[in-house]
Structure 1
Amino acid sequence: MALSPSQIAALVGAGVISGGTPFVPTQPQLVANFTGIKNGTFVQMGTGNFRALGRSQHRSGRVRAKNLRFLDTLVYLGTNGVESSSATINTLKRAIEISGVTTQALYAGLSSIDISGSAQALSDIIGAIELPPDTDFFARWEKTLALDTQSLIAHALVGPGTGQGFRTPGASQLLGTGSMNTSGTSAGPQFWPDGIFGVPVSPMSAVAIIGDSVGNYREDANSGSAGGAWARALNSILGSAVPWMKQTQNGHTFGNASFGNAPLQKAQLQYVTDIFIELSTNSMPASGTVAARLASLQAGWLDIANGCRAIIGPYGKRLRIHFFDMIKRDAYELDTTQHDTRLAYNAWGAAFADGKADAYYPTDSVVTVPVGADGIHPDSSVHVLMASDVIVPGYTPFLDPFYFPRG
C-alpha cells in the first residue's frame, strides 16, 4: 500500500526507512535540480573572445548534503536524441556560490581540467562546505578554448531567470558573487552541470528524466518556473524540490535512448534513485499490425527499463522505473491502427509493463484532442495539469528511496 504524504514527510524528515531502521547515506547522489545532458546548438567563441563565463541557479533537495561535487561532460543530444560528444578541448573551471559565499571546485587538486570527447570531469569534493536543504544556490563556470574560431555546445534549456552565459575577452569572474558583469561581452550559451552530487544526511530520492520534446518542455515556457510537466512536478513536491537531471531532446526515441546507442548518458544514472521514461510518441512504428507495432514499442521501452533496473543506485538498490503513457496525437486518433496501438501500449503500462514498471502515470487523462496548436504537443495549461494532477501524486510515495511497491 502506498504511503501517505504525511508518512512520507515523516520518513524523509527523520531519515528512516519503512521498517524504522536508521539509515545514514554514504554514497554520492544527485542533490539539486536543473542538471542534465546538453541538448542545444554549438556557439562559436567569436573574434577576440577567449573566455566563456556563466552562472546557473539551482535548488537543493529537502535534505542537507555534504561532500559536494560537480560532474561535467561534453556529451550532448543531437537531432532526435542521437548521442554525440564534442572533440574540442574545453578547459573548465567551476565554483559553487551558496548564500553569497563562493568556493572553487578543484580537479585532482588543480584549478582546471581539460575535457573533450566522452571524458567525464568529476570534481574533487568541494572543501568542507555543505548545501542547506531547500536552498537556491548557483553553479559558476568558466571555459576557455584554444581558438576563437572554435565552438561550445550548450543547453537549449534555461533555468531560473538569473541564469547567465556569455563570451568575453575580459577577466575571469569565476570567484565573484552575485550576477556577473556582462558589459562589453557577447551573448553566449548557458551550461548546466551534468550533475551536482553530494551525500545527504538522510535518505533522499533523485530522478533522471529520459524524454522527448514533451518531456523537454515543448509548448510550455522554457523557464525556471515551467520547463515542461516533469520539471514542474519535481520542482515542488510537499514543498521541496526533488533533485533531477534531464536527458531529453526534441524527436527523441526509444532507439536513440537505448543502452546500445546511448551508453555515455547511462553512466550517470548510478547517482539517481528513479528513472522517468517519457519517449513513446516518437517511437510509433510507421507500418505493421497493431500487434507488431506494440511489440516494437514494448521492446524499446524494455531495453531502457531492464538496463536501468540492472543499475544499483546510491542506496544499494536497483533503480525504480516509472512508465508514462503515450499521450494523444491528432494523427494517432484518426488512424485506426495507430489509435489501437497507442491504447494497447498504454494498457500494457497500466498493467506495469510485464512487471518491469514500478509506477504508471496516465498523463493521457488530461490531454484532449485536438492536441495543442500542432496536433502533437500539449499546451502549457496541460503541462500544468499533468504535473499537478498526475505526476506529483504519483511520485509522492517515491520520496522515500526505499519504497518499492512492486518488489
Structure 2
Amino acid sequence: MSMMIALNLALTGGGGGSAPFVPTQPQLVATYTGIKNGTFVQMGTGNVRALGRSQHRSGRVRAKNLRFLDSSIYLGTNGVESTSATVNTLKRAIEIAGVTTQALYSGNPSVDISGSTQGLSDIIGSLELPPDTDFFARWEKTLALDTQSLIAHGLSGPGTGQGFRTPGASQLLSTGPMNSSGTAAGPQFWPDGIFGVPFFPMSCVAIIGDSIGNYREDLNSGSGGGAWARALNNILGSAVPWMKQTQNGHTFGNASFGNAPLQKTQLSYVTDVFIELSTNSMPASGTVAARLASLQAGWLNIADGCRNIIGPYGKRLRIHFFDMVKRDSYEADSTQHDTRLAYNAWGAAFADGKADAYYPTDSEVTLPVGADGIHPAQAVHAAIATNVIVPGYIPFLDPFFFPFGE
C-alpha cells in the first residue's frame, strides 16, 4: 500500500466507496500521555500546591469533545502496577493558541484521585483541537498534608515541561510558561490520556514497553523518547497520538492482564497496541523450546487480552509485534541466542495469527549493544524509528485496516 493511499484511507474510513465514516466515540488525540513511572516527591513544608505545564501535539485530524484522564496508577520497580493511596485534589486546564480553559469534573472545578479511582473530566466546553498543533496541559494538585508525596513522571516531553511545588498563588488559568521563581522543583505530570472525537477517523497507539521502549540511552526529551515515540511523533508529517505504559525492567508477567488490570482499562481509547516487551522476560533456565514457550505465553496473554478490547471504532485493537533485540549476554550464550531468534521468527510469522504487524527492529542493532551491552544507542533508536517503525505503521494510519481480517 502506498503512503498516500494509506493516508487517504485514514481520513475517509476505509475507502470502500461509501460515505466517509463519522467518528462518535472518544479516543486518544494527542501525544505525550501515559502512566506515571517516576519517583515520589514530598510536597514539603510550606508548599500549598503543586503546579505544572506539559506540551503535547495533536494528531492529523481536528478533534472536538476534549477531555482529560488522570489517575494515581503508576509503574513501580520492573513495571509492577501500583496505586498511590494519597488523595490528590486535581485541577486541570488546556491551553490552545494562547487561550486557557479550565476542565471540570461533574461540573466541579476539581476531582479527588486516589487508589484505583480515575478522574475523567467533563467535555471541555465547545473547544476544538486543531490538527498538527502544539498545545499545553496545565495542572494543579493539592494534598492534605505537606508531609505527603506526589508520584511523578520519569519522562520529559517537548518544549520546557514544568513541575514545581509552591507556597504561592495558583497559575492554573494563566497562559504561557509558569513563574517558578522561589519554588521547589518537581514533579512533572503528563495526563494519562487526552481524549476527543476526531472529525475523521484517526489511529492512536498505546506503547507497552520496557526500558528500551521507555527511552533508555535515547534522549529523554521531545526530540528523543525512544524509537517508538520518535516514530509516532512524525509519520507522513503528522503525529500519531500515543500513550506510554513503560518502565525500566518491565516484563510480560508484570504487564499481564492479571497483574496490570488498571492500565488495561485505558486501552479502549486507542486503536493499536505496541508490545515492546520481551528482553527482560527471557527465562534463566530451560531448553530453547521451554524458554520459547514461556515467552510466547507472556506475549499472548497481553495480545489475546487486547484483542478482546473494543476500540473507538467498534473494532478490536490491532496488535503490533516487535523483535527481541540483541543483548551481549544473550549472544554469548547459545541457548539464549537460539531462544531469541526463535521468538523473533515466531513474531515474523505473526505470532500464531495474533499479531497484525511485525517489525524487524533487531535488524538495526549490532554488537556490542550500546554502552552497557543491553540498551541500543541513540543513533539506533533513530534508525529503528525511521527504517522500521514508520514504514511498518503507515498502513495502520487507517483505523479500519486489518491485514488478516478482524
Q: TM-score normalized by structure 1?
A: 0.99
1:183-209, CA deviations, whole angstroms, 9 ceiling, x for partnerless residues?
110001110000000000000000000
8 Å contact 1:50–1:146 — kept in the other structure? Answer: no
Task: Tell me the residue number matched to 1:273.
Answer: 271
- Counterparts of 1:130 and 1:236 in 2: how far apart (Å)? 22
Aligned residue runs from structure 1 range 367-386, under 5 A: 367-386=365-384
- Identify the match of residue 398 of structure 2 among 394, 397, 400: 400
Determine helix, strand or coil for the equivalent of 2:45: coil
- What is the deviation of 1:25? 0.2
- What is the deviation of 1:257? 0.1
- What is the deviation of 1:161? 2.6
1:88-147, CA deviations, whole angstroms, 9 ceiling, x for partnerless residues?
000000000000000000000000011100101000000000000000000000000111
Task: Tell me the residue number matched to 2:15.
Answer: 18
- Counterparts of 2:108 and 2:17 in 1: how far apart (Å)? 43
8 Å contact 2:10–2:203 — kept in the other structure? Answer: no
- Counterparts of 1:403 and 1:43 in 2: how far apart (Å)? 43
1:351-388, CA deviations, whole angstroms, 9 ceiling, x for partnerless residues?
00000000000000000010000000000000000000
Task: Tell me the residue number matched to 1:331.
Answer: 329
Task: Tell me the residue number matched to 1:223.
Answer: 221
Task: Tell me the residue number matched to 1:294.
Answer: 292
Aligned residue runs from structure 1 range 1-400, under 5 A: 3-13=1-11, 15-21=12-18, 22-400=20-398
- Counterparts of 1:168 and 1:242 in 2: how far apart (Å)? 35
1:227-267, CA deviations, whole angstroms, 9 ceiling, x for partnerless residues?
00000000000000000000000000000000000000000
- What is the deviation of 1:10? 2.0
Q: Percent identity among equivalent residues?
A: 83
Aligned residue type for 1:153 = I
1:297-330, CA deviations, whole angstroms, 9 ceiling, x for partnerless residues?
0000000000000000000000000000100000
- Counterparts of 1:18 and 1:374 in 2: how far apart (Å)? 47
Determine helix, strand or coil for the equivalent of 2:129: coil
8 Å contact 1:65–1:198 — kept in the other structure? Answer: yes
1:331-367, CA deviations, whole angstroms, 9 ceiling, x for partnerless residues?
0000000000000000000000000000000000000
Which structure 1 segments of 5+ residues have no match?
none
Task: Count matched residues.
Answer: 404
- Counterparts of 1:298 and 1:243 in 2: how far apart (Å)? 28
Determine helix, strand or coil for the equivalent of 1:139: strand
8 Å contact 1:18–1:402 — kept in the other structure? Answer: no
Aligned residue type for 2:16 = G
Which structure 2 segments of 5+ residues have no match?
none
8 Å contact 2:8–2:15 — kept in the other structure? Answer: no
8 Å contact 1:33–1:235 — kept in the other structure? Answer: yes
- What is the deviation of 1:17? 1.4
- What is the deviation of 1:18? 2.9
- Counterparts of 2:90 and 2:231 in 1: how far apart (Å)? 32
1:138-173, CA deviations, whole angstroms, 9 ceiling, x for partnerless residues?
000000011111100010001013210000000000
- What is the deviation of 1:9? 2.0
Determine helix, strand or coil for the equivalent of 1:161: coil
8 Å contact 2:59–2:238 — kept in the other structure? Answer: yes
- Counterparts of 1:16 and 1:203 in 2: how far apart (Å)? 6
Determine helix, strand or coil for the equivalent of 2:229: helix
- What is the deviation of 1:12? 2.9
Q: TM-score normalized by structure 2?
A: 0.99
